[in-house]
């Protein structure tokens, strides 16, 4: 990798030749060309959450929360590498044709490593779930994949949204997230610190909200004291889009646009996604910023462009052809990811289906033939979408099985805009369910119901959810199918905790990407053993949770929840059975032996939790290691799992870490809680540790 000091020197030389007006022009996301210096126009705004987004044809992988459900670091990095390959392929082709517009650059504003603290948050499906360690590891590996290990950065990744951002969406432009130092350093910041220190992420994006009174994109505490001071971050900081204008328009911490620009720049925000930095020269005239500050911000940005090889015609990535995008190999990776992400929540023996015994399948529901149910948000456009219906139909056709399809109802009544009733297909759905051997009900949500404020159809809640139920139109459908279907398999497409009670078997498919239908069919018929695990806790009802605007971790996520979850963090069933035979700690590694005691080959996830005996420890043991392993029927295999370096630490009320005196490691297939044991009958191996002499 090119040395940052050398890249910085090259950037400084380039910036030294610019006028103050030219320097200022480069601080906005749509930076203009400076022809006399050979600097082309560059648009910094690109997205790559689970594939190259919003820029035409690209491979669409499962939504981020689905990638988290894989609990697979290696595949996470491989997916990042694939996305970077496609981003370079598209950049090379598009820039050759003079297209340097938005979503066409190499600075990708991904991953979203905020903590999914409350299931009502509409953007939660963009994250890697509710656990700081899982989020850290998957964020690190995704960033390493995106940035590569060549001479130059393959793409420049971005950890966002710094910090403490997880709703409510409707309030985000003026909301003040009040957080204790303990919760800050125990829950909200570890993933950001890890991606800065371990993955060398090139950029960090600020959040819209205030944090303890300071707007995140102009926070001295976050950007100066912690990010650059405590952690030594060397890359550039970008604002969330139009967040700096919120300083004076909504947060009311400044009075004018120049004052807002000055506050952001003073605290280290280099790049403005928005237009407030158009006022930076006015701020300079008013004495609110200095030319040295403008120069420094411009130098940091030019350093990133140097590190990307954008001023080197011989950059090794310039030779990636446009045909490297949307390949068969990438489609297979998307399929594998979808298969590993889907979570079997319930099964009374109905699954897997026996193709030799099933003659007719009814596929019913608003998400059965929906492309939106595959995509999630911040997505690209695939040329290979396989909906749930198409995947089942393709598999069924190869085995002589008849497929009957009915929409059943609309996703929610408002989507029809009054042109049809929400229950206009109930009779059709009922008659198909009555005659089919098996009914597969495809229900849930899509990114038009849960997502980002301004991007969704759920305008009243701005993308957030008011409850954990599927829409009423779908509840009517499911109540009917429960009484009419001979066997009912419920498939839920969504990105967050939902309570959908009906069905002999239940699969949570997330938003599984372009190959979702193929993956579902292979799981339904037992070609693939389900192995996804929940990266979030599923609750019965929002009444079990604190107020949505309360950012304290008390009674939130598996580490602090005081009730009995519907489905626990880390949970997921299988078609076969596994057993932990033995486990031992060797330094910072756990070595364990797992046996497939069933009659099917399959993959499983080994989970390691630590319970520190300290009044400062979370209420429940915390995840501190995990590893995915494939084990054939009757086979025994060993796996080594690296422990989190923070395993035996606890955080005090001042946000400082200290080592606990004693602790217990739990090595198993699930979380060491009563609900997981109740659902699976599996108990972890316990290893006691004395941590201090």
Over range 213-230, report the average pLDDT: 98
Tokens of 175: 């909301």
**Residue 414 — pLDDT band, cuts 50, 70, 90?**
low
Arithmetic mean of pLDDT, 567-587: 96
pLDDT at 459: 59
Q: Catalytic residue at 582?
A: no
Q: What is the DSSP string of 361-424?
A: EEEESTTTT-SHHHH-SS--B-S----HHHHHHHHHHHTT-EEEEE--S-SSGGGGTTSS-TTT
Q: Are residues 601 and 456 both part of a single domain?
A: no
The CA-to-CA distance between both ends of the chain, in Å, stands at 43
- Give domain status of residue 347, yes or no: yes
Answer yes or no: do 474 and 582 share one domain. Answer: no
447 and 381 within one domain: yes
- pLDDT at 420 exceeding the cut of 60: no
- CA–CA dist 254, 210 (Å, integer): 13
pLDDT, tens digit (0-9, with 9 covering 90-100), for 23-61: 999 999 999 999 999 999 999 999 999 999 999 999 999
Verify that 367 and 481 share a domain, yes or no. Answer: yes
Q: What is the mean pLDDT of residues 516-541?
A: 98
Catalytic residue among 240, 346, 453, 644: 240
In a domain, 87, yes or no: no
For residue 513, the domain's CATH number is 3.40.50.1700
State the pLDDT at residue 2: 78
> Residue 641 falls within a domain, yes or no?
yes
Model confidence over 175-194: pLDDT tens digits? 999 999 999 999 999 999 99
Q: How do beta strands 236-238 and 488-493 pair?
A: unpaired
Residue 42 lies in a domain: no
So what's the pLDDT on residue 624? 98
Q: Are residues 622 and 482 in the same domain?
A: no
The maximal CA–CA distance of the chain, rounded, in angstroms, is 80
Q: What is the pLDDT of residue 692?
A: 63
Asked whether 361 and 440 are in contact (CB, 8 A), the reply is yes
Which of 72, 331, 346, 450 is the catalytic position?
450
In a domain, 358, yes or no: yes
pLDDT confidence bin for 422, thresholds 50/70/90: very low
For 95-118, write each residue's pLDDT tens digit.
999 999 999 999 999 999 999 999
Note whether residue 494 is domain-resident.
yes
pLDDT at 261 over 80: yes
Higher pLDDT, 391 or 456: 391
Higher pLDDT, 76 or 687: 76
Radius of gyration of the chain (CA): 25
Are 380 and 494 in the same domain? yes
Q: Which of 560, 586, 621 is the C-terminal boundary of a domain?
A: 560
In the chain, % of residues over pLDDT 90 = 94
Kindly report the CATH number assigned to the domain that includes residue 614. Answer: 2.60.40.10
Dump pLDDT digits (tens) for 358-405: 999 999 999 999 999 999 999 999 999 999 999 999 999 999 999 999
Is residue 679 assigned to a domain? yes
pLDDT above 50 (res 428) = yes
- The answer to whether residue 300 is domain-embedded is no
Q: Is residue 437 annotated as a catalytic residue, yes or no?
A: no
Q: Pairing mode, if any, of strands 210-211 and 176-177?
A: parallel
In a shared domain, residues 499 and 588:
no
Q: What is the pTM of this model?
A: 0.97
Which residue, 440, 338, 452, is CA-closest to 384? 338
> Is 465 a residue whose pLDDT tops 60?
yes
What value does the mean pLDDT take over residues 483-497?
A: 98
Range of the domain at 482: 336-560
Residue 588 and residue 516 share a domain: no
Under the banding of pLDDT at 50, 70 and 90, the label for residue 454 is confident
Q: Stretch 87-94: mean pLDDT, rounded?
A: 97
- 177 vs 46: CA distance, rounded Å: 27
Residues 6+ apart with CB under 8 A from 153: 1, 106, 147, 202, 304, 307, 308, 309
Q: Kindly tell me the burial class for residue 399, based on how many C-beta atoms sit within 10 Å of its own C-beta (0-12, 13-18, 19 or more).
A: exposed
- Across residues 396-420, what is the average pLDDT? 82
pLDDT at 213 over 50: yes
Q: Is the dihedral of CA 83, 89, 95, 99 positive or negative?
A: negative
Q: How many CA atoms lie within 13 A of 108 on its CB side?
A: 36
pLDDT at 682: 87
Polymer length of the chain: 693
Same domain, 534 and 680: no
Per-chain mean pLDDT for the chain? 96
Q: Which of 560, 587, 622 is the last residue of a domain?
A: 560
Per the structure, how many domains does the chain have? 2
- 460 — pLDDT class (breaks 50, 70, 90): low
Cβ neighbour number for residue 177 with a 10 Å cutoff: 23
- Asked if residue 488 and residue 423 are part of one domain, the reply reads yes
Position 409 pLDDT exceeds 50: yes
Indicate whether 603 and 488 sit together in one domain: no
Same domain, 603 and 659: yes
């Amino acid at each position: 990798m090119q040395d940052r000091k050398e890249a910085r020197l090259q950037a400084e030389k380039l910036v030294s030749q610019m006028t103050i007006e030219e320097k200022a022009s480069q601080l906005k996301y749509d930076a203009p060309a400076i022809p006399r210096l050979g600097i082309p126009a560059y648009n910094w705004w690109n997205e790559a959450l689970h594939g190259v987004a919003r820029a035409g044809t690209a491979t669409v992988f499962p939504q981020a929360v689905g990638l988290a459900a894989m609990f697979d670091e290696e595949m996470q990095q491989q997916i990042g590498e694939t996305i970077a390959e496609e981003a370079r392929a598209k950049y090379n082709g598009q820039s050759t044709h003079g297209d340097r517009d938005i979503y066409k650059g190499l600075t990708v504003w991904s991953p979203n490593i905020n903590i999914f603290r409350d299931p009502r948050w509409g953007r939660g499906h963009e994250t890697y779930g509710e656990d700081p360690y899982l989020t850290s590891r998957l964020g690190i590996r995704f960033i390493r994949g995106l940035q590569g290990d060549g001479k130059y950065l393959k793409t420049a990744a971005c950890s966002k949204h710094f910090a403490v951002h997880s709703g409510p969406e409707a309030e985000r432009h003026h909301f003040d997230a009040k957080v204790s130092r303990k919760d800050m350093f125990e829950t909200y910041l570890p993933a950001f610190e890890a991606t800065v220190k371990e993955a060398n992420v090139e950029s960090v994006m600020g959040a819209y909200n205030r944090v303890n009174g300071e707007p995140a994109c102009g926070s001295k505490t976050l950007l100066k004291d912690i990010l650059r001071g405590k952690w030594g971050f060397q890359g550039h900081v970008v604002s969330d889009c139009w967040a700096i204008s919120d300083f004076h328009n909504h947060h009311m911490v400044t009075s004018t646009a120049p004052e807002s620009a000055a506050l952001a720049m003073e605290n280290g925000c280099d790049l403005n996604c928005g237009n407030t930095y158009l006022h930076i020269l006015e701020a300079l005239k008013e004495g609110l910023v200095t030319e040295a500050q403008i120069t420094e911000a411009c130098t940091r940005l030019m350093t990133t462009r140097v590190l990307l090889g954008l001023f080197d015609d011989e950059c090794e990535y310039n030779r990636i052809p446009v045909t490297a995008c949307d390949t068969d190999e990438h489609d297979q990776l998307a399929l594998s990811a979808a298969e590993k992400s889907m979570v079997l929540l319930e099964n009374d023996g109905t699954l897997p289906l026996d193709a030799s015994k099933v003659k007719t399948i009814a596929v019913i529901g608003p998400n059965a033939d929906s492309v939106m149910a595959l995509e999630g948000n911040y997505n690209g456009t695939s040329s290979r979408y396989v909906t749930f219906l198409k995947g089942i139909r393709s598999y069924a056709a190869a085995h002589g099985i008849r497929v009957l399809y009915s929409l059943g109802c609309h996703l929610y009544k408002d989507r029809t805009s009054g042109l049809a009733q929400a229950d206009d297909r109930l009779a059709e759905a009922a008659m198909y369910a009555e005659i089919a051997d098996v009914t597969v009900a495809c229900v849930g949500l899509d990114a038009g119901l849960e997502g980002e404020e301004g991007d969704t159809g759920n305008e009243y809640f701005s993308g957030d959810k008011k409850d954990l139920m599927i829409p009423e139109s779908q509840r009517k459908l499911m109540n009917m199918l429960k009484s009419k279907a001979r066997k009912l398999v419920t498939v839920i497409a969504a990105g967050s905790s939902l309570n959908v009670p009906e069905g002999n078997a239940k699969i949570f498919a997330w938003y599984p990407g372009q190959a979702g239908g193929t993956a579902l069919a292979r799981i339904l018929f037992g070609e693939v053993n389900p192995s996804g695990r929940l990266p979030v806790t599923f609750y019965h009802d929002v009444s079990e949770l604190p107020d949505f605007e309360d950012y304290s971790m008390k009674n939130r996520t598996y580490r602090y929840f005081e009730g009995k979850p519907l489905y626990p963090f880390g949970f997921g069933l299988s078609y076969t059975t596994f057993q932990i035979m033995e486990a031992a700690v060797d330094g910072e590694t756990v070595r364990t032996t797992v046996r497939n005691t069933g009659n099917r080959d399959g993959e499983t996830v080994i989970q390691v939790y630590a319970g520190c005996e300290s009044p400062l420890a979370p209420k429940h043991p915390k995840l501190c290691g995990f590893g995915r392993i494939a084990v054939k029927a009757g086979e025994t295999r060993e796996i080594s799992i690296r422990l989190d370096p923070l395993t035996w630490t606890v955080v005090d009320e001042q946000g400082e870490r200290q080592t606990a005196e004693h602790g217990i490691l739990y090595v198993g297939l699930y979380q060491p809680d009563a609900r997981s044991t109740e659902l699976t009958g599996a108990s972890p191996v316990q290893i006691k540790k004395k941590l201090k002499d």
